[in-house]
Each structure stands twice: as structure tokens, then as C-alpha cells.
Amino acid sequence: MAGKSEKRRRKRRCESVRAPQPFSDIIDQVCYKDKKYFEEHTDITSFLRGYVPGEFWPHILPNNTWVEVRQVQSGIRIRSPFLDGLLVVDEVGLDEER
């Protein structure tokens, strides 16, 4: 069983990978808007929209980046950034409702 100091270290480690509050707010807003878009357009599984600076924290991408948002299943969406038709980073944003 882990002692108190070990639990504190684990907590600090987890907190260190979370986005700082301003970025966390941006990410929450983007995920909410994507969710609403799919709720209003039930006949699609993906759409393209402009990049919102901060949504892929800690990556900062050029403002002319586009984002493909795909709904894998209800409540699970994948966001992939593209610039001039090329995938910008080899990571995708996963939005999974809890």
C-alpha cells in the first residue's frame, strides 16, 4: 500500500500533464461545440472546421490549420489537425465523454 508521500507524488505527476486552466477552458469549449454540431447534424460522422488556438495543447499550430472532427461512436470524437492537406502532428485529440 502506498504511503502519503507516494500518493502526493502521483497526484503531482498527474497534475503536471493537465493543461493549464486557460487551455483547459478552450479544450472544453471546443469539445462542447463539436458535440453540439453532431447533435444538430445526426446524418454525418465527420466535418471540417477551423483550428482554435490552444485546442491541441501543448502543441501550438498555425492559424490556417484545419481540423477534421470524426465521431467514432456516440460520445467519442477524434480531432485531427491538417495544414495544406497534411496531418500536422502525429497525435490526435480524443474527446470522450465521461
**Residue 91: which of 9, 41, 81, 83 has the closest Cα?**
81
Higher pLDDT, 85 or 82: 82
Maximum alpha-carbon separation in the chain: 52
Q: Can you give the pLDDT at residue 6?
A: 59
Omega before 58 within 30 of 0, i.e. cis? yes
pLDDT reading at 36 higher than 90: yes
pLDDT digits (tens, 9 = 90+) for 6-33: 555 554 444 455 667 888 899 999 999 9
Q: DSSP letters of 35-68? A: HHHHHH-TT-SEEEEE--TTTTTT----TT-EEE
Distance (Å, rounded) from C-alpha 70 to C-alpha 95? 10
Tally of CB atoms within 10 A around 65: 19
Take residue 14 and report the three cell numbers written for it. 498527474
User: Exposure string (b/e) for 6-15, b if CB count within 10 Å is 16 or more?
Assistant: eeeeeeeeee
pLDDT reading at 95 higher than 90: no
Confidence of residue 83 (pLDDT cuts 50, 70, 90): confident
